[in-house]
Structure 1
Amino acid sequence: MHLENRTFDELQVGDSAELKRLCTFDDLLIFANVSGNHNPMHIVDPDGPGPREPVAPSMFIGSLVSAVLGNILPGAGTLYRRQLLDFSDRAHAGDELLSRVRVTGKNEAEGTVTLATEVRRVADDVVIMRGEAVVEAPREKLSYDDEDLPGLLVQRHRHFEALMQLAEDLPPLPMAVVVPEEEKALGGALLAAQRGLIEPVLIGARAKIEALAEAGGCDLSGIEILDEPDHAAAARRGVALVREGRAGGLMKGHLHTDVLLRAAMDRDRGLRAGRRLTHVFVMDVPGLSHPLLVTDAAINISPDLSCKMDIVQNAIEVARAIGIDPPRVAVLSSVETVNPALPSSLDAALLSKMADRGQITGGYVEGPLAMDNAVDMGAARTKGLGESQVAGRAEVLVAPNLDAGNMIAKQLTFIAHAEAAGVVAGATAPIVLTSRADDETARLASCAVAALHHRWLEGGSD
């Protein structure tokens, strides 16, 4: 947008200007970070002491006036001398606000201009703030194009907050926690229990678990502990609890993943349900308007077409379990066209056709798609895919192999600052594979996904 300032000589008493601004939750979080004012009255935190609808900080309201002064009237070159603020009402996230200034006087000797200032709530025309500004007006004429500032992404994991709220509305999921003999493994299970997500049964060396709890100040009152020092035996015991109906899910503690999965995949005493066990990451990516599922990044190294059918179907069911229904599934390759020399593109095309023929159900499946045109609508339209149900708006990304899937998930985590929850699907009950790198949010979200997936397995689509 082309902008031109008003010099001191051009300004006349009675001149006015105004700007409208929608106050958002992210505005308040950014202001809290920039200003250092972390008053819970102004920050969204459903579990904290602040209100559900946070109040906009008064100085944020005041800053809206400076936007009019610096951009329009007088505009570029304006410097503050003084600002009086009188607040008569409050604004909240979601309110559209109108900030207005009007010239009331000029001081030739000082080169200053006095302006009446106000901010109103547009919906009901209520005055939020009135005041007076004294500024040094520019003497030099400036004309410029208003170039976009670099964008900001708020690192706020709202999708996980919503998932945990959904899961907290369910009865706690009885969870067999296998070998919680490490601080994060035990602490994550106990925290999930405190949040009402799970009802843990701890399986491992009792002495180690109790010593760890005592050292960390954790209360084990009312929590069942099954003493089993051997990791493989503990894994089998956890699986047995699920088979007996005493647990609705399995959670990895401080043991090797293959030890736990070996027990879960045992043909006679495991948790097989007719499909391959596959891992699904559920990721909360800042700036993305929906959760993003990535599969398979943890179990199946080089899946063939038959395995990929199960990977896709399992991912669809996890997506539907957490409320994405029907999910849009992009089967990834390095290109969006079928290339006989590129096996991943052939598999993607076949999976897409299988979905068309009803061999894969419950979601839109399309491939091959490259990463850019799977998630970005601009890239999809550039490639002529704008009419696709999936391209540009994928909610599930199916990687061609474990290497690619793992790289996607870790790039999103460590570069895009995503949080990653995970669950193993395809078994008779959800299996949570936690990592030592997982923080509290990831562990809680994994338990939430497991609880929601368990409900899906119990009730299907009903």
Structure 2
Amino acid sequence: MQFIENKTFDEINVGDSAELTRTLKSEDIELFAVMSGDVNPAHVDDEYASSDMFHKVIAHGMWGGALISAVLGTELPGPGTIYLNQNFNFLRPVGLGDTITIRVTVLQKDEKHHHVILNCVCINQDGDPVIEGEAKVIAPTVKVHRPRTQLPDVHLHESGARFNELIKATYELPPVRTAVVHPCDALSLEGALQAGLQGMIIPVLIGPTAKIKAAAAEFGGNLDNIEIIDVPHSHAAAETAVAVARAGKVQMLMKGKIHTDELLKPVVDKATGLRTERRMSHVFILDVPNYPKPLLISDAAINIFPDLQVKRDIVQNAIDLALALGIDMPRVALLSAVETVTPTIPSTLDAAGLCKMADRGQITGGMLDGPLAFDNAISKAAAETKGIQSEVAGQADILIVPDLEAGNMIAKQLIYLAGADAAGVVLGARIPIVLTSRADGVLSRLASAAMAQLYVHHEAGGTLL
């Protein structure tokens, strides 16, 4: 065990010194900005910093000051030290990758008050001083020898960052005419109108006009130049939306304040709906802290106990969406409880069958492996521990779950325990359906709309006008 120990006033001599060395990383700057609230663009904005006087991102000046404080509080004099005064001269900027040595040296001692004055200097890897100053402290008079506190791991996650990237990917694409089904509450209507303002969709609002206008009034939404198809209730809204889609007048559906089964009932009607030869399935896209890329999960909302053929469609739908999102060769992990094909666990047999279907060209565009347990699908360390040799294990883009219950639990756990942001879309019908949850905020709704817009354009091969 490491210990931390001070030097008492009586043990300190003029000329004594202590130092530590740190290399500036982007995480240091981000953590300091989070802690201090200092978001000066010279420190956190690459584009701005490149045109600033130093032409690069630099550390906050007090990052070096904090390191001087660390030496005083942990090394010399160490625990029990009371800071009285500190001055700094900032001589040079500290950039990413710079290695700084922080050194304090005793200059004077005051026996009467146990005051100690120390020279403080921070020197970069070239031997140039970047900060100079003096500190005045009260040195401890009692010896301290204690176990060194182990600091917690800190993981930085910019909430919404990947969803914002998804939205940015739509900026150069034409908007898609979208039937917004029964947008009679403020949240769903605001999401649709925001998607319209950002050029992702041309919203066609279908529902009772009076309720739509009342919802808009709740948040000051502007309905000027927005097409509204007036229908008496939610059932009629869903039926009308499907009819409009069958007529080719819209290329997407978006759920408003309506139950999912109520929306999907006219969609799946064999005679008048939007069914195709492929089974419809829902795909979650999750921005999970500590996972290095977006994670797609299917199916957690529509197919309860899918058989092998339905799973084939679920996999293909998810791959097609991943391709539309710009993932060149999506890695698909077929989840189960174990990594070996086990006759008593049906999901392992389905995984083996799906892999063979991919080998035979019945599933295209992705790289499949399974069965894989959840940990081996998303953690390289876990996969290596199990001795799993795979291009998918530990780096999955898509998780295919055994059934709806498993998928719903995984997605909700990642959202509510891991802090993931979630968006979702239904594929397999003639057009994609943005299927949001009542708990989804505006960003999730925009991300869902962005996914569907990208999918529409990808399927159209760039020919959509």
Q: Normalising by structure 1, what TM-score?
A: 0.87
Cα displacement string for residues 40-59 of structure 1 (whole angstroms, at most 9, x for unaligned residues): 6489699xxxx999875444
Which of 132, 141, 144 aligns to 2:134? It is 132
Matches within 5 A, 1:147-296: 148-157=150-159, 158-296=161-299
CA contact (8 A) 2:117 2:137 kept: yes
Whether contact under 8 Å (2:123, 2:130) holds in the other structure is yes
What does 1:22-421 correspond to in 2, within 5 Å?
Answer: 22-24=24-26, 27=28, 30-35=31-36, 37=37, 41=41, 57-87=60-90, 94=96, 96=98, 98-109=100-111, 110-119=113-122, 129-137=131-139, 148-157=150-159, 158-385=161-388, 387-421=389-423
Q: Which moved more, 1:98-107 or 1:219-228?
A: 98-107
2:446 to 424, 444, 447: 444
> Which stretch of structure 1 is more off in the superposition, 298-307 or 355-364?
355-364
TM-superposition CA deviations, 1:209-237 (whole Å, max 9, x none): 11221232111112111112232332233
Aligned alpha-carbon RMSD (Å):
3.2
Check 1:343–1:128 CA distance in 2 against 1; reply closer, same or farther (3 A cut).
same
Q: Give how far 1:421 is off.
A: 0.3
| Counterpart code for 2:277 | G
- The structure-2 alpha-carbon separation of the partners of 1:311 and 1:182, relative to structure 1 and needing over 3 Å to count, comes to same
Distance 1:120 1:269 in 2: 75
Identity of matched residues, %: 46
C-alpha contact (below 8 Å) 1:99/1:117 kept by paired residues: no
Residues 1:43 and 1:15: Cα distance change in structure 2 (over 3 Å): closer
- Partner residue in 2 for 1:7: 7
CA distance in 2, matches of 1:200, 1:90: 50
- Specify whether residues 97 and 217 from structure 1 end up closer, same or farther in structure 2 by C-alpha distance, changes over 3 A only: farther
* Residue ranges of structure 2 left out of the alignment (5+ in a row): none
Contiguous gaps of at least 5 residues in structure 1: none
CA distance in 2, matches of 1:381, 1:237: 53
1:446 is displaced (CA, Å) by: 1.0
Does 239-248 or 303-312 show the bigger shift? 239-248
1:191 CA drift (Å): 1.9
Residue 420 of structure 1: SS of its match in structure 2?
Answer: strand
CA contact (8 A) 1:330 1:366 kept: yes
Structure 1 residues 198 and 112 mapped into 2: Cα distance closer, same or farther (>3 Å)? Answer: farther
How much has 1:240 moved relative to structure 2? Answer: 3.5
- Asked whether the equivalents of residues 23 and 97 of structure 1 are also in contact (C-alpha less than 8 Å), the reply is no
Query: How far, CA to CA, are the matches of 2:185 and 2:447 in structure 1?
Result: 19
Moved more, 197-206 or 3-12: 3-12
**Aligned mates of 2:441, 2:282 — CA distance in 1:** 19
3-state SS, counterpart of residue 451 of structure 2: helix
Aligned 8 A contact 2:43 2:60 in 1: no
- Deviations along 1:365-403, one digit per CA (max 9) or x if unpaired, are 111111122112222122111x31121222211110001
Verify the 8 A CA contact 2:7 2:76 in the aligned structure 1.
no
Picking from 425, 428, 443, the partner of 1:426 is 428
State the distance in 2 between where 1:347 and 1:259 align. Answer: 31
**Inter-partner Cα distance in structure 2 for 1:353 and 1:138:** 72
Cα 1:334–1:228 change in 2 (3 A) is same
In terms of mean alpha carbon deviation, does 202-211 or 75-84 score higher? 75-84
Judge which range, 64-73 or 208-217, deviates more.
64-73
1:61-111 Cα deviation digits (max 9, x unpaired):
43233234344555555442322234456667x564625223151315144
- Contact 1:5-1:73 within 8 A present in 2 as well: no
Q: Does structure 2 retain, via aligned residues, the 8 Å contact 1:3–1:71?
A: no
Counterpart-to-counterpart distance in 2, 1:74 and 1:356: 68
